[in-house]
Structure 1
Amino acid sequence: MANPNLTAGSTWRLHHGDQEIAGLTVTGTDMPWTHAEVEALPGFEEFRPLFAGQERAVDDEDWEQADACYTQIRGALTMTFPDGSPVAEFMLHIHDDGTAGWRWHDEPFDAVNP
Protein backbone atom coordinates (compact mmCIF):
# COMPACT_ATOMS: atom_id res chain seq x y z
CA MET A 1 0.00 0.00 0.00
CA ALA A 2 1.33 3.45 -0.90
CA ASN A 3 2.40 5.75 1.90
CA PRO A 4 -0.25 8.52 2.09
CA ASN A 5 2.43 11.00 3.25
CA LEU A 6 4.09 10.62 -0.15
CA THR A 7 0.97 10.99 -2.29
CA ALA A 8 1.21 13.83 -4.79
CA GLY A 9 -0.77 16.77 -3.46
CA SER A 10 -0.28 15.94 0.23
CA THR A 11 1.18 18.84 2.22
CA TRP A 12 3.93 18.58 4.80
CA ARG A 13 4.45 21.62 7.02
CA LEU A 14 7.58 23.44 8.15
CA HIS A 15 7.52 25.20 11.52
CA HIS A 16 9.62 27.66 13.50
CA GLY A 17 8.45 27.24 17.07
CA ASP A 18 4.64 27.28 16.98
CA GLN A 19 4.50 29.19 13.67
CA GLU A 20 3.97 27.40 10.36
CA ILE A 21 6.39 29.06 7.93
CA ALA A 22 5.98 26.90 4.81
CA GLY A 23 3.78 24.29 3.21
CA LEU A 24 5.54 21.61 1.16
CA THR A 25 3.10 20.08 -1.34
CA VAL A 26 4.41 16.76 -2.64
CA THR A 27 4.97 16.59 -6.40
CA GLY A 28 6.72 13.21 -6.45
CA THR A 29 9.30 10.91 -4.94
CA ASP A 30 12.67 9.52 -5.99
CA MET A 31 13.37 7.40 -2.93
CA PRO A 32 14.80 8.24 -0.54
CA TRP A 33 13.96 11.82 -1.59
CA THR A 34 10.54 13.45 -1.55
CA HIS A 35 10.01 16.46 -3.83
CA ALA A 36 7.57 19.34 -3.40
CA GLU A 37 6.48 22.83 -4.32
CA VAL A 38 7.07 25.31 -1.51
CA GLU A 39 4.43 27.76 -0.30
CA ALA A 40 6.38 30.32 1.73
CA LEU A 41 4.36 31.75 4.61
CA PRO A 42 5.09 34.62 7.00
CA GLY A 43 8.28 33.86 8.89
CA PHE A 44 9.93 31.88 6.08
CA GLU A 45 11.99 34.75 4.66
CA GLU A 46 14.18 34.76 7.78
CA PHE A 47 15.41 31.28 6.76
CA ARG A 48 15.67 31.73 2.98
CA PRO A 49 19.36 32.82 3.17
CA LEU A 50 20.18 29.71 5.22
CA PHE A 51 18.66 27.41 2.58
CA ALA A 52 20.43 29.38 -0.19
CA GLY A 53 23.73 29.01 1.67
CA GLN A 54 23.15 25.28 2.03
CA GLU A 55 22.44 24.97 -1.70
CA ARG A 56 25.63 26.92 -2.56
CA ALA A 57 27.67 24.73 -0.20
CA VAL A 58 26.33 21.54 -1.81
CA ASP A 59 26.96 22.93 -5.31
CA ASP A 60 30.52 23.82 -4.26
CA GLU A 61 30.96 20.42 -2.55
CA ASP A 62 31.79 22.28 0.68
CA TRP A 63 30.45 19.52 2.91
CA GLU A 64 31.58 21.17 6.14
CA GLN A 65 29.51 24.28 5.33
CA ALA A 66 26.60 22.15 4.10
CA ASP A 67 26.65 20.26 7.43
CA ALA A 68 26.76 23.56 9.34
CA CYS A 69 23.68 24.78 7.45
CA TYR A 70 21.90 21.46 8.10
CA THR A 71 22.65 21.80 11.83
CA GLN A 72 21.24 25.35 11.87
CA ILE A 73 18.12 24.30 9.95
CA ARG A 74 17.44 21.34 12.26
CA GLY A 75 18.13 23.48 15.33
CA ALA A 76 15.58 26.11 14.30
CA LEU A 77 12.89 24.25 12.35
CA THR A 78 10.58 21.28 12.71
CA MET A 79 8.48 19.45 10.14
CA THR A 80 5.12 17.73 10.37
CA PHE A 81 3.52 15.04 8.23
CA PRO A 82 0.28 15.87 6.39
CA ASP A 83 -1.68 14.46 9.36
CA GLY A 84 0.05 16.96 11.69
CA SER A 85 2.24 14.45 13.53
CA PRO A 86 5.91 15.40 13.96
CA VAL A 87 8.66 14.16 11.64
CA ALA A 88 11.40 12.80 13.93
CA GLU A 89 14.28 13.54 11.56
CA PHE A 90 14.64 15.21 8.17
CA MET A 91 17.23 16.62 5.80
CA LEU A 92 15.55 19.43 3.86
CA HIS A 93 16.75 21.42 0.86
CA ILE A 94 14.66 24.36 -0.32
CA HIS A 95 15.76 25.68 -3.71
CA ASP A 96 15.62 29.21 -5.12
CA ASP A 97 13.07 28.07 -7.72
CA GLY A 98 10.42 27.37 -5.06
CA THR A 99 10.89 23.62 -4.98
CA ALA A 100 12.13 21.42 -2.17
CA GLY A 101 13.59 17.98 -1.65
CA TRP A 102 13.96 16.11 1.61
CA ARG A 103 14.71 12.80 3.22
CA TRP A 104 13.02 11.81 6.46
CA HIS A 105 12.99 9.07 9.06
CA ASP A 106 10.64 7.96 11.84
CA GLU A 107 13.47 8.11 14.42
CA PRO A 108 16.20 10.71 15.00
CA PHE A 109 19.27 9.91 12.87
CA ASP A 110 21.39 9.57 16.04
CA ALA A 111 19.13 6.74 17.19
CA VAL A 112 19.40 5.05 13.80
CA ASN A 113 23.20 5.30 13.60
CA PRO A 114 24.53 5.29 17.18
Structure 2
Amino acid sequence: MTGPDSEWQLLNGDTLLGTITVDEAGMPWQRGRFSPEPAFSEFRPWFDELNAILEADEFERFDDAYDLIEGALTLVSPTGPVADFLLHIDQNRACFRWDAGPPTG
Protein backbone atom coordinates (compact mmCIF):
# COMPACT_ATOMS: atom_id res chain seq x y z
CA MET A 1 0.00 0.00 0.00
CA THR A 2 2.80 2.40 0.77
CA GLY A 3 6.37 2.86 -0.13
CA PRO A 4 8.60 5.22 -2.01
CA ASP A 5 6.92 6.67 -5.07
CA SER A 6 3.42 5.63 -3.98
CA GLU A 7 0.85 8.31 -4.74
CA TRP A 8 -1.87 9.40 -2.37
CA GLN A 9 -4.70 11.81 -3.14
CA LEU A 10 -6.31 14.48 -1.01
CA LEU A 11 -9.97 14.99 -1.83
CA ASN A 12 -12.87 17.22 -0.85
CA GLY A 13 -15.86 15.18 -1.93
CA ASP A 14 -15.03 14.21 -5.52
CA THR A 15 -12.69 17.18 -6.04
CA LEU A 16 -8.98 16.41 -6.19
CA LEU A 17 -7.09 18.91 -4.03
CA GLY A 18 -3.63 17.47 -4.52
CA THR A 19 -1.38 14.46 -4.81
CA ILE A 20 1.28 13.32 -2.36
CA THR A 21 4.16 11.37 -3.86
CA VAL A 22 5.81 9.51 -0.99
CA ASP A 23 9.59 9.79 -0.94
CA GLU A 24 10.19 8.81 2.71
CA ALA A 25 8.19 5.75 3.68
CA GLY A 26 8.37 4.81 7.34
CA MET A 27 6.01 3.97 10.13
CA PRO A 28 4.09 5.62 11.44
CA TRP A 29 4.85 8.72 9.34
CA GLN A 30 5.04 8.96 5.56
CA ARG A 31 6.57 12.04 3.92
CA GLY A 32 6.45 13.25 0.39
CA ARG A 33 6.08 15.95 -2.21
CA PHE A 34 2.68 17.63 -2.28
CA SER A 35 1.46 18.73 -5.69
CA PRO A 36 -1.60 20.92 -5.17
CA GLU A 37 -4.43 21.39 -7.61
CA PRO A 38 -6.06 24.85 -7.96
CA ALA A 39 -8.92 23.78 -5.65
CA PHE A 40 -6.46 23.38 -2.76
CA SER A 41 -6.14 27.17 -2.42
CA GLU A 42 -9.45 27.20 -0.51
CA PHE A 43 -8.02 24.81 2.10
CA ARG A 44 -4.41 25.98 2.32
CA PRO A 45 -5.24 28.46 5.14
CA TRP A 46 -6.37 25.53 7.31
CA PHE A 47 -2.96 23.89 6.98
CA ASP A 48 -1.17 27.21 7.46
CA GLU A 49 -3.10 27.68 10.72
CA LEU A 50 -2.08 24.20 11.91
CA ASN A 51 1.56 24.96 11.16
CA ALA A 52 1.31 28.21 13.12
CA ILE A 53 -0.28 26.39 16.07
CA LEU A 54 2.51 23.81 16.12
CA GLU A 55 5.25 26.44 15.81
CA ALA A 56 3.75 28.40 18.71
CA ASP A 57 3.36 25.27 20.88
CA GLU A 58 -0.34 26.06 21.28
CA PHE A 59 -1.37 22.42 21.25
CA GLU A 60 -4.64 23.13 23.08
CA ARG A 61 -5.87 24.75 19.83
CA PHE A 62 -4.81 21.87 17.58
CA ASP A 63 -7.87 19.61 17.86
CA ASP A 64 -10.36 22.35 17.02
CA ALA A 65 -8.30 23.47 14.03
CA TYR A 66 -7.77 19.92 12.78
CA ASP A 67 -11.48 19.09 13.07
CA LEU A 68 -12.07 21.23 9.95
CA ILE A 69 -9.64 19.12 7.93
CA GLU A 70 -10.88 15.82 9.30
CA GLY A 71 -14.51 16.72 8.62
CA ALA A 72 -14.07 17.98 5.07
CA LEU A 73 -11.19 16.10 3.49
CA THR A 74 -10.43 12.50 2.54
CA LEU A 75 -6.99 10.95 2.20
CA VAL A 76 -6.89 8.22 -0.41
CA SER A 77 -4.12 5.62 -0.48
CA PRO A 78 -3.18 3.71 -3.64
CA THR A 79 -5.76 1.09 -2.56
CA GLY A 80 -8.56 3.42 -1.45
CA PRO A 81 -9.68 5.86 1.27
CA VAL A 82 -8.18 5.51 4.74
CA ALA A 83 -10.24 5.58 7.92
CA ASP A 84 -8.52 8.22 10.01
CA PHE A 85 -5.49 10.30 9.17
CA LEU A 86 -3.29 13.05 10.49
CA LEU A 87 -1.90 15.24 7.73
CA HIS A 88 0.47 18.21 7.76
CA ILE A 89 1.17 20.21 4.63
CA ASP A 90 3.83 22.90 4.59
CA GLN A 91 4.56 24.49 1.23
CA ASN A 92 5.15 21.55 -1.13
CA ARG A 93 5.85 18.93 1.57
CA ALA A 94 3.35 16.63 3.26
CA CYS A 95 3.72 14.42 6.29
CA PHE A 96 0.96 12.01 7.27
CA ARG A 97 -0.04 8.93 9.20
CA TRP A 98 -3.23 6.93 9.01
CA ASP A 99 -5.35 4.22 10.54
CA ALA A 100 -5.57 1.21 8.26
CA GLY A 101 -9.07 0.33 9.51
CA PRO A 102 -12.21 0.67 7.39
CA PRO A 103 -13.11 4.21 6.24
CA THR A 104 -15.53 6.14 8.42
CA GLY A 105 -18.40 8.18 7.05
TM-score when normalising by structure 1: 0.84
Identify the match of residue 28 of structure 2 among 32, 35, 50.
Answer: 32
Identity score, percent: 36
Gaps of 5+ in 2: none
How many residue pairs get aligned? The number is: 103
Compare the two structures and name the one with the higher strand fraction: 2
Residue in structure 1 matched with residue 93 of structure 2 by the alignment:
99
- Give the greater-gyration-radius structure (CA): 1
Structure 1 ranges of 4+ moved more than 2 A: none
Superposed CA RMSD in Å reads 1.6
TM-score when normalising by structure 2: 0.90
Gaps of 5+ in 1: 109-114
1:44-63 counterparts in 2 under 5 A? 44-63=40-59
* 2:65 matches 1:64: no
Please give the per-residue CA displacement for 1:11-68, whole angstroms capped at 9, x wherever unaligned.
Answer: 0000001111110100113421100100101210111111010011011111122212
